[in-house]
Structures are given as structure tokens and as C-alpha cells.
Structure 1
């Protein structure tokens, strides 16, 4: 029998992409007893999965709800249900992976400081309730009882009880570690630069030599458009860098994941005590074309945070970093086969892929084994664009 590192060895499945979704798929496949290799062009968890702020989302995001309108929101409900189902998996994930992932699901709160914002929030809550998410409206007094540090200008908002946070630095590595324990092989610094066919085997070309597998899972984040083109599929995945800031440690203060109805803002407290401030503010490119922190975005983001939480104004800011945010035109995931034979499958969740990763990995593992994932994937078909 050929050694698994020999170029002639044929794996059952090759997973391309070492973020949370790819590592999750590798974990589920290896636990099912398959011979699996995970390939990443860099190191594991170095892109979107490891550079986000760790939010676990389970409500319709307010900004696209306002911008895209009611018809879009109706069509997006299957993608929201996907997030809600994935959030249930987070409850036991630390135990499953043998790692404290610092999961805390105390709920998410959308805060309004203008009464004109409340009608849209109420419509959004009604849609969430329709698919079983128990969101509800909050009065100003209820908000302050949950978060006494909020500005006096707050007039009401929404509580989505299924939301929370986790540590993004820990999740993908924990999936990968347990996958390796179950027999998976992980190869970093191994980009997939081409794909060929040899009978019933897919041949993945890499700078370090060919990798052969009977089936392939593509979970490469912002590398997905290039990967999909090898199979004559054009995936309209956009990429842009956004930034997140972290403050010095403070005593426990913020139990929830907070959003602001008046602009781009997410706000939460990590287990370490630091406050994480984000919301999708864009980074910029320097003269060399590298993504770097945009000071204009930083000032605007911090001003918005101070508007909602005035007591943080005197805290020291420790650092601000950039991470890639990937999107699709309809904000919905892309999941399914990309070949007529069904031996190459793709999985990508825009903007909130960290939340979706536990379920995404499970579904991709089912598809790679030819199993019914138990979920209607028609709204997420790769060929819908």
C-alpha cells in the first residue's frame, strides 16, 4: 500500500480550505472513517475564520434588511434558518472538540436611539419569529436593565436570544486537531493550482506535487472563485477587508452581542475582558496593495461605539486588525455539487461563515459521501447566479 504522502496515494476526500468550514468538514469526514487530506494555501485559520470578531449571528442583519428590502428578506429566510440550526451545534461544540472555545450565547441585542428606527426592527422580528427564532422587541427600560452601560439616548430595540460569541482563534484549529486524531492528514502551504481527471479520481495540482482523491470539497473562502473556474463555474463572491478593534481589559460589563440600528457597529466583550468593536468598516490598501487599517473607518467606528456606550471613551485601544469579508449578491450561501458527477462539492457562507461553520462542515461531509444532508439546499445552488 502506498504511503499517504506518496503522489500515487488516492484519498477518499480532499478538502481545499483550512478555515472553520473546511476544518469542520475534515473533522466530520475523518470521524466517519474516511481517508481525508486537508489542503490550505497558507496556514490553518489565517484568513476570514481566524480574523473575525467571533460573533455568532442568528438574526436578519439590520443593514441589508434596510438596503435590500422586504422581498430580499423573505427570500433570505432559508439562509437565516441555516444559521439558527448551526447555532444549536455550538452548544456542545467545546465538549465535542475537547477545547474550551469560549462559547457564550447570552443573546444579541439590536439597539435603536431614534424612534423612527423601531418600525423596521419590528418588521424584522416578525420575519424571524416566522421561522421559529424567538426574537422580541425591547423597551428602553428593558434594554437598560440588561445593559445599564447603554447611552440614555436608547429608545428600544430587539433581543435575539440565540446569538452569542466564541473565540475565532480556537475553532478551526480544534476541528483540525480532532480530525488529525481521527486519521486525517493536514498539508499547509499547499495551494490547489489546478485540477485534472484520471478515471474516477480527481488530481489536484499543487506546487509540492499532485494530490489524488475520489472526491473533493471546496471550502476556500475568498479563493473560491478561482477554484470554481477550474470546473467552468463562475461564482460571484466578493472580497473586501474590514477591520476590528480591541480595548484593554475591563471588568465584566457586556453580556450580549450588540448591534446599532443607526450604523455599522457590533460590540461585545471577550472572555479575557477586552471589548471587541467592529461592524464591517472597510480597511484600505497601501501603496503595495496590501490591506491595512483605515484611520477614517477607525475613527467613525469608535465614535459610533462611544455614542452607544459613553463609558468606554477613556479606555485604551490595544490594536486594530483587518480581515477579509466575503459576500454574495443575495447574501445567501453557496452549497452543492459543481460537477455533473457530484464528486466535487462547494460550501461557502457569506459574511457570517464563522457562525455557519459547524453545520456547513457536517453538510459538506454528507455531500462528499453521497448522503442526503437532510436540508433543502435548492436556495443555495451554485448554479443559481
Structure 2
């Protein structure tokens, strides 16, 4: 006999686990289907940044009109970072969440003007980014290079530990009653009057509703019910250094090149920023040496002491992205009962609220954060 559930969640990253956890705690019977291992993709392999600012490279690349359209999304990110700060207590484990602020470092007057323009747009949705001159910036972040002439400081940004977060959420979900099935690929989804039948190698699973939280593969899942999504998977790489003395409390970016930098509790510095990994013919990933060297060079230019630190390990992951950076959260048009839970590019930051909001929608409640102007499904 085919097992039947109120909700099937496809995807065992942070968004899927958080959605399943909330649904089960509110009384729904939930099965979570993960093709590989929990958190093995972007949720466990990202750099652990909690982003709140509009990303500087995209602001420069796409312009102010794009930034104004994207800006309402920052309210969602702010609410999600609030949830991150409650998460350790909620799951009973320290997830190393620290919100000490983020700084975009400028080296030219043109970069300072762009930071100021970006800050004005952020302020329009209630996100404060202070524009700091050289001396003000040095007072906040004395570890920066003398070449820094100023920057933007957003107090609401921070970091969390992706290696702790996914297992902790999984344990919380199981405790709430979620049936988690790893190495269970969904190969097809059929609709009928009773809901959905999800085909897997271990047999069909029935559910009245489905949540698509499949990350970089979410478009493939949505296509099974005839829903097209303009979503891609992007191969990125991250590096961690050997432990160094406590130095960097902030999330650090550079206006001169792609960089995200933070220091973990053990002293290691986690360095990323959206640098591409190599893709093998079989779809596997490997660190790209040229991009590794460029990423490390920018980090050392911004924080000179890192020029003396050895890189210990690099790793790769597929992340999902959309052309406009806007989230796709809500019930799929024309497919009642099928819900999309996609927050592109900065999904780690947004995961707690994405999971909560999609659980709200599945259960027929108003979303904790209104989605108008945020999700493309609510335009």
C-alpha cells in the first residue's frame, strides 16, 4: 500500500528541512525526500554568510532600477536573520550565529559613490547602511588595508555555521515527526483528484500537497507538474584558511572585486564571494586554481594579515540563481497544492523565513512576512 502524507517536501537542504519542521510542529504529516544526503549541496557547502545588503557587484552590474525592484526583498532577509538569531535555542544547539555587521570596502571615489547610492535604496525599505569615511571605517574595522578610503557598514549582517545548521534542523524535524528519506530521488510527479503521487526508486509516495525546495534542481522538479521556472544552477567554490588570532568580527566585502570574508570561531577565515568552480564532464565539481588565486589575492589586499595565512581547504557546491535575483515563493500558478520555495543566490541567509513562509502558505495561513513585491508570484 502506498504511503500517504499531508505534505511531501522535495529537497533536504535548510529550506526543505525548515518547512518540514514547521509543518510537522503544526500537526501535518510530512515526508521529506532528498536525492542525496541532507545539506550536501548549497546548504552545507556555502560560506555561512548572513547577507542583508544589496550585493555590490550586482548593484554596479545591473543598476539602480534593478536595485529598487529587488530592495523589498531585504525586508524578508532582515526577518530571516532575526529567525537565525532564535534558531540555536529553538533546535537546542549552538549554530554559531553572530550578527556583528557587514562592511563593503572601497578603494576609489567612484566606489564610494556607488556605495552611497546603494545605501539610499536600502534605506527606502528600512535597511540602514552607514557610509563611512577612511577614519570612521578604520575605527570600526582596524584590520583593513590602508588602501581602504571608506565603505558601507550594515549592522544587521552576520554569519552562521552551515556545517552545524543542517544536521541540527534535521534532528529537530525528526523529533517533530517528519519522515526523512535520503538517497530518494523523485523521478516523476503525477496529479489526480486526491493530490500528488511522487515516483521514487523505492516506490510511489502520495501527498495532498508538495513543497518544491530542491535548490538548484527546483526547476526540474517543477517541470514534472508543468511549471516552467527560469532558474539555473551555478558552480561556486569557497576556501578556509588555517586558524589565525581573533581579528575579523564582521562579514567583509570588497568593492574592488568579488569577496565575502568572515572569521569562524576556531580562527579560520572563510573566503568566497561567488567565484566559479570547474565543472567536469560528468557534472562533478572541482576547485578552479585561477579563481582560487584571484579570490585569495583580493582577500589579502583587503585584509593584509591574510597574506601570511595558509589556505587549508577549498570546496565546491551548486547554488541556484535567477536572472533578477527575486525569490519564487508561493503556490504554483495553475497547479493547486504545489508550492515553490526558492530564494536564489543568498538562500542560506533567507532559509529560516523561506521555510516558515512556505509552511504558512501550505497550511492556508497568511505568510509571516507578506510576499507582495518580494516573490515574483505576488507581483
TM-score (norm 2): 0.97
- Quote the residue 1:233 is aligned against: 227
SS in 1 for 2:361: helix
Aligned ranges 1:193-208 → 2 under 5 Å: 193-208=187-202
Deviation at 1:384, TM superposition (A): 8.6
Q: Which stretches in structure 1 are left out of the alignment for 5+ residues?
A: 1-6
Deviation at 1:182, TM superposition (A): 1.2
- Quote the residue 2:58 is aligned against: 64
Correspondence for 2:311 among 305, 314, 317: 317
Correspondence for 2:291 among 289, 297, 302: 297
- Quote the residue 2:160 is aligned against: 166
- Quote the residue 2:238 is aligned against: 244
Q: What root-mean-square deviation, in Å, do the aligned CA atoms of Structure 1 and Structure 2 show?
A: 1.5
Following the alignment from structure 1 to structure 2, what is the Cα–Cα distance between the partners of residues 347 and 116? 37
Aligned ranges 1:347-366 → 2 under 5 Å: 347-366=341-360
- Quote the residue 2:216 is aligned against: 222
CA contact (8 A) 1:102 1:271 kept: yes
Following the alignment from structure 1 to structure 2, what is the Cα–Cα distance between the partners of residues 359 and 245? 27
Following the alignment from structure 1 to structure 2, what is the Cα–Cα distance between the partners of residues 38 and 231? 18
1:90 aligns to 2:59 (yes or no) = no
Pair 1:21–1:205, CA change in 2 (3 A)? same
Following the alignment from structure 1 to structure 2, what is the Cα–Cα distance between the partners of residues 339 and 213? 19
Correspondence for 1:139 among 120, 124, 133: 133
Aligned ranges 1:43-122 → 2 under 5 Å: 43-122=37-116
- Quote the residue 2:247 is aligned against: 253
- Quote the residue 1:154 is aligned against: 148
CA contact (8 A) 2:371 2:378 kept: no
CA contact (8 A) 1:23 1:173 kept: no
Q: Which stretches in structure 2 are left out of the alignment for 5+ residues?
A: none
SS in 2 for 1:264: strand
Following the alignment from structure 2 to structure 1, what is the Cα–Cα distance between the partners of residues 113 and 376? 35
Aligned ranges 1:321-340 → 2 under 5 Å: 321-338=315-332, 340=334
Following the alignment from structure 2 to structure 1, what is the Cα–Cα distance between the partners of residues 256 and 198? 47
Q: How many residues align?
A: 379
Deviation at 1:218, TM superposition (A): 0.6
SS in 2 for 1:326: strand
Deviations 1:343-367 (A, max 9, x none): 1101101110001011000011111
Correspondence for 1:286 among 277, 280, 286: 280
- Quote the residue 1:3 is aligned against: none
SS in 2 for 1:169: helix
Deviations 1:314-353 (A, max 9, x none): 2111011111122101111111112535311011011100
Following the alignment from structure 1 to structure 2, what is the Cα–Cα distance between the partners of residues 383 and 205? 27
